């Protein structure tokens, strides 16, 4: 689905601050803040913070080349080139022998599809290798075998279909540097273009630039931002944001969260507290708990998914930065290992580069 944040005259939105005393609404004018973050963490390439207005507008423009598959194929170019460059030469004047099958298995493993999955795929290809006569035959068989390993249900965003439950509460979690806040901004833009009233909760009160970055996205997407002062209780921010969403008849509330506290245990306990607080204010909330993962971290992303899922119970995943890695197979590994649906994949800096995930389209673009 293509959409743009241009085409409607932009208007200033309220930023609600609950720092001291009763709730109030204020309008702020300020320059985009510096990218205040831990220098040891990787810088998210899709972060809007620190970019000039012209750069921001460029990122919000729809791609003229268009086409969901074409965008996905472009974004997965590194993975596809890594997997298929040698495949194109494998059968050039040669038979698909054991040496070539071993090379293929190594490629699949290096692309982070997973050791067991790679071995299973190659074993099934080994059985029918006599029917493979060209590189195109081999690539078609690889695609077919990958799809056998994972669910390939319909591409509809089932959890995001807004029902009679309003507001729809989405809790977004993930470590710093994964593109969590930027993903929230892009989701807000998506819903805004669908005519939904969106509220954002600045629940990452521990990172200096997080609220400012989210405020930029709120203004660009037309959402309302609920924030407290730095170091406030994130659960209190989430509660007040849900309260405000109900009072304003909002369609969607998206809650940002901290990605790094003093240690892993503290982080997970804080997320559990936010979860309980939302459920207390609105039984059944959050209706979605999404984990944002940096695909360039490979198998480490799988470990993160395991820890978050064990602690708070995830309902879906968003994988970012697939355009910056040759290890796009991690999508296959995570979905197979955890059984969690991948809702979106990020294949570039623009808003439209956060694309609804469909496994068949993904595999077609990858191999």
Binding residue positions = 174-181, 256-260, 320-323
Cα dihedral 151, 152, 153, 156 sign: positive
Q: Please compute Rg for the chain using Cα positions.
A: 22
How far, in Å, CA of 173 to CA of 165, rounded?
A: 22
Residue pair 138/96 in contact (Cβ under 8 Å)? The answer is yes
Residue numbering of the annotated binding site for GTP: 174-181, 256-260, 320-323
Beta bridge pairs of residue 342: 317
How far, in Å, CA of 96 to CA of 99, rounded?
A: 8
Residue pair 278/303 in contact (Cβ under 8 Å)? The answer is no
Residue pair 179/173 in contact (Cβ under 8 Å)? The answer is no
The answer for 174, left when phi > 0, alpha when psi is -120 to 50, beta otherwise, is left
Of 44, 73, 80, 59, residue with least CA distance to 297: 44
- Helix (H), strand (E) counts: the chain: 13, 10
The residues, any chain, with a CB within 8 Å of residue 209's CB and separated by 6 or more, are 33, 34, 35, 36, 37, 49
How far, in Å, CA of 55 to CA of 63, rounded?
A: 14
């Amino acid at each position: 689905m293509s959409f743009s944040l241009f085409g409607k005259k932009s208007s200033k939105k309220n930023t609600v601050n609950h720092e001291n005393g009763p709730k109030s609404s204020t309008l702020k004018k300020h320059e985009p803040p510096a990218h205040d973050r831990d220098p040891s963490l990787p810088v998210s390439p899709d972060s809007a913070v620190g970019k000039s207005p012209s750069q921001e507008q460029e990122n919000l423009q729809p791609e003229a080349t268009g086409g969901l598959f074409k965008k996905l194929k472009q974004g997965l170019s590194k993975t596809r080139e890594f997997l298929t460059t040698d495949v194109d030469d494998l059968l050039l004047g040669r038979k698909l022998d054991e040496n070539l099958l071993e090379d293929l298995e190594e490629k699949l493993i290096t692309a982070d599809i997973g050791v067991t999955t790679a071995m299973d795929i190659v074993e099934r290809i080994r059985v029918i290798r006599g029917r493979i006569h060209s590189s195109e035959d081999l690539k078609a068989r690889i695609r077919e075998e990958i799809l056998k390993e994972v669910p390939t249900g319909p591409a509809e965003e089932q959890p995001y279909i807004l029902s009679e439950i309003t507001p729809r509460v989405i809790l977004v979690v993930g470590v710093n540097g994964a593109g969590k806040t930027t993903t929230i901004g892009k989701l807000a833009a998506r819903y805004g273009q669908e005519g939904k009233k969106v509220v954002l909760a600045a629940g990452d009160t521990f990172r200096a630039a997080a609220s400012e970055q989210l405020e930029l996205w709120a203004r660009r997407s037309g959402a309302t931002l609920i924030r407290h002062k730095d170091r406030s209780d994130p659960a209190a921010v989430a509660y007040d944001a849900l309260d405000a969403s109900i009072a304003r008849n909002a369609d969607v509330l998206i809650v940002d969260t901290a990605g790094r506290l003093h240690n892993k245990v503290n982080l997970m306990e804080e997320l559990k507290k936010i979860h309980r607080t939302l459920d207390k204010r609105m039984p059944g909330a959050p209706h979605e708990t999404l984990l944002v993962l940096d695909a360039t971290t490979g198998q480490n992303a799988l470990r993160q998914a395991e820890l978050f899922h064990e602690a708070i119970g995830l309902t879906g995943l968003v994988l970012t930065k697939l355009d910056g890695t040759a290890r796009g197979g991690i999508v296959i590994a995570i979905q197979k290992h955890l059984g969690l649906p991948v809702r979106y994949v990020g294949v570039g800096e623009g808003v439209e580069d956060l694309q609804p995930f469909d496994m068949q389209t993904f595999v077609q673009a990858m191999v």
